[in-house]
Structures are given as C-alpha cells and as structure tokens.
Structure 1
C-alpha cells in the first residue's frame, strides 16, 4: 500500500511538472490502481482456493478411507452371502432327504406295528389288558396325521423295547384264570417270554398256559414247590436259583 501511495505521488509530481501530462497521469493512475486491485483480488482468490484445496484434499482422504471400509464390509457380506447360499442349499437338500425318509419310514413303522400286534395276539397270555391298551394307544398315534414321523417312530420303538424286555425279565402278579368251568384267583409267574405259570393262593394247585391250545392246563403237584420258589424269586423275596418247571408249548400252531 505504501508503494502504491509513493507511486501515485510520483505521478502527481510529474503531472504538475510536465504540461499536458495531467490526463495521461490520471489514466495511468487508474490503470495502476486497477492492476493493483486485480492482483489483490487474485491473491485473495488464490488463498481461498488454497484453503478449499486443503479442505477438498482432506475430504478426499476421508472418502478414500470410507471407501476402503465399505469395500471391506462388502467383501465380508459377499462371503456371508455365499455361506448363506451354501447353507440354504444344504438345508434344502436335508429337507428333501427328510421328506424321502418320512415317505419310506411310515410304511416301515406300519409293518413293525403290525408285527407287534401279531406278536401280542399269538404270544403267551400275560398282562393282556396292559399290552392291548398299549397297542391301542400306539394305533391311535399312528393314525393321527398331526403326529410327526419322529414321534411315531419314538412310540413304535418304545413299544418294541417294552415287548423285547419281557423276554429278559420275570415277574409275578395276581390275577384270575379260567381252568375248565372254574375261575381261580392266584399268582401268575411269567418266565420271560417262555411260559406263564399259575399258583393258587393256597399253593395247592398249579397250572401252565398252553400256547397252542390257548388255555390253562393243570400241572402235577410235584411242580408246586418249584413254582412257589419262582414266585418268591420274582417278588424278590428269595435269591435266584435253578427251579424245575415244564416249559410246555412255546408257540401256537
């Protein structure tokens, strides 16, 4: 600004000293002033642009960082999407396999159910009410369309397991049997699935169930002591030991 004042002052001195120079000096002064103003404006704009450049550079760097983060997130999501696609394909395959198993499983379970019913029908006579009731409940489950295949499988296997266990256990329970025209109360001794024996409460008569004839038959009195021992063992009132009992017929004709 000082240089500008000095320059204008010099121009005025020349304008006074030289005749006719006043107009030229004013023109020159105006031109110089415009030049200085233009330069100052240019400097202001340059500073403004420098500040804007710094701002834009910082913003550009920030956008680059955000872009890198977004690319990383995109790659992660793409990987997760691929995993989900594979999982969906696996689940769809499992669903098809499950449908196939269900379609094959139901006839199998029906066949096992039929064999269980035939077994109980042709088996030795013991726990008749309990076993037929269990089979009736199983039949209800098998016929219910709202029951899943898994539950039907569980119920069939449960019934099968119980029936299988009868072959490995002995038990005694009280019941009435029909011998001829007489109905007698006593203890029924179940020897696995091999045979069922009967001992009257007064221990004076014994019988064995004939599977082929589907009826009770009287036993010789010589078997009463052994049968009494079997009843005591089944009731856990006596240690297990060998006893002499007739097996009778094991199956129906």
Structure 2
C-alpha cells in the first residue's frame, strides 16, 4: 500500500518540475522576440538613415553641379559685360569721330550749296523755278538737326548730279517768257545741253535765243524757225532724231559783232 503514494509523489514532482522549467523558457522566448523586434526596428531606422543620407548626398551633388553651372554662367556674363563695355567704348569713339567730322564737313556742305547757287545764277536761265526750289530746299535742310549728315550730303550730291545732267541732254518745255515791258507770253523753250537756250512762240512765227553776254533774249532771223520747230519735236520725242542745223553763237562771235 505504500507504493502508490510514492508513485503519485513522483508524478507530482515531475509535473512541478516541468512547470518550473517552462517559465524561464517562455521568458527567454519573449526576450528573444523583443530583441528581434528591436533589431528589425533598428534595421528600419538604419535603412531610413541610409535613404536620408543618399538623398542628402544627391542634393549635395546637385548643389555642386548648380554651383559649377553658376560659376560658368558668371564667367560668361563677365566676358559679355566686358565685350559690351568695349563695344560701347568703340561706339563712343565713333561718335566722337562723327562729331569731329560734322564740325569739319558741315562748313564744307554750306560752301557746296553756296557754290551751287552761284552756278545757277550764272547759268542759262532755264527751269528757274525748279532749280531755285531745289536750292532753297538744300538751304533749309542744312541747319536741321533731325536730318543726318549723310542724308544732307546725299541730297547735295543729287542736286549736283541733276545740274551735271543738264549739260548732256536736249529738253523742251512750255513756259512764260518775260518781256522787257514787264509782261510775259507763253512760248516753247528748247535747251541744248547748257550751251544754248532758245525760245519759239506758240505760232512758230518768232524764235530767239538767250545771249549770256548781255543776259537778255534776242530775236533770231526767220531761217531759225524751221530747225527750232523740228528740234522741239525731237526733244519731246514727237519726231525721230535727225541732224539739224541750229543757230549757235559763241561769246567770241558776239564780241566780234
């Protein structure tokens, strides 16, 4: 009868011993899980730090690239500013030269217009209104500040060219012939270069020429009527060019008479 109690006691001791051994094991498992969780969390934080570090590194590299780009841009900008400064200095030098040129050329242009006026006054009296108007326009143009020196000079040269062309052309036009009594009458004028200037009445009954020595109109004899009529038609392109015998008198011939 004493065996049964001993066996029961042994079983009880074994169960008690198992319970006592299970407690530390559970605690160890919990600790292991906690440590694993902390390790995982730490790894996550490390990975986050790595991501942040990489991002900061990329930002730093981008900042360096931008700094290099700005450095290059600033260098180009300095070169551009220097080039513009030199260009402005060159323009200023040119302006100074233009001002000196104007100071030298302006009086010369005034003289050219004066000489042109003297030439027109001493020339044959053809197209007086047209030539005087052109001269007056030049005289009004010279003092204008809104017209460039080049434009003024161009206009003067154009006027000289027109006057030069008069010496190589045959021209006819209708105009008023002033009379000695102060009156006037309509006639046909004929200019032979700038050598001779004729007139003929509209009915072709009277012809005459300008005597540069006496500075007066003189009537020609009747033999000049027909060739003058033909010459006027040729000048107006109403007749084909032909060889004509026009009355031509020189200053020497007039002096001899």
Structure with bigger gyration radius: 2
Residue 242 in 1 paired to residue 243 in 2?
A: yes
- State the alpha-carbon separation in 2 of the partners of residues 58 and 185 from structure 1: 99
Question: Equivalent residues in 2 for 1:138-217 (5 A)?
Answer: 138-178=138-178, 183-217=184-218
Q: Which residue number in structure 2 is paired with residue 19 of structure 1? A: none
Alpha-carbon spacing, 1:48–1:210, altered in 2? closer, same or farther (3 Å) = same
- State the alpha-carbon separation in 1 of the partners of residues 250 and 148 from structure 2: 41
- State the alpha-carbon separation in 2 of the partners of residues 241 and 108 from structure 1: 44
Q: Deviations over 1:81-135 (max 9, x none)?
A: 2321232122112212221222222112101101110011000011112211222
TM-score, structure 2 normalization = 0.73
Alpha-carbon spacing, 1:60–1:179, altered in 2? closer, same or farther (3 Å) = closer
Q: Which residue number in structure 2 is paired with residue 122 of structure 1? A: 122
> Which gives a bigger RCO, structure 1 or 2 (Cα 8 Å, sep 6+)?
1
TM-score, structure 1 normalization = 0.74
Q: Which moved more, 1:189-198 or 1:98-107?
A: 98-107
- State the alpha-carbon separation in 1 of the partners of residues 51 and 147 from structure 2: 76
Alpha-carbon spacing, 1:94–1:112, altered in 2? closer, same or farther (3 Å) = same
Deviation at residue 47 of structure 1 after TM alignment: 6.2
Deviation at residue 74 of structure 1 after TM alignment: 2.0
Q: After the TM superposition, which segments of 4 or more aligned residues of structure 1 sit over 6 Å from their partners? A: 39-48
- State the alpha-carbon separation in 1 of the partners of residues 169 and 153 from structure 2: 24
Deviation at residue 52 of structure 1 after TM alignment: 4.5
- State the alpha-carbon separation in 2 of the partners of residues 225 and 250 from structure 1: 24
Conservation of the 8 A alpha-carbon contact between 1:226 and 1:245: yes
Q: Which moved more, 1:110-119 or 1:159-168?
A: 159-168
Question: Equivalent residues in 2 for 1:13-162 (5 A)?
Answer: 50-162=50-162
Q: How many residues align?
A: 225
What residue ranges of structure 2 are gaps of 5+ in the alignment?
1-23, 32-38
- State the alpha-carbon separation in 2 of the partners of residues 177 and 47 from structure 1: 114
What residue ranges of structure 1 are gaps of 5+ in the alignment?
10-38
- State the alpha-carbon separation in 1 of the partners of residues 127 and 98 from structure 2: 37
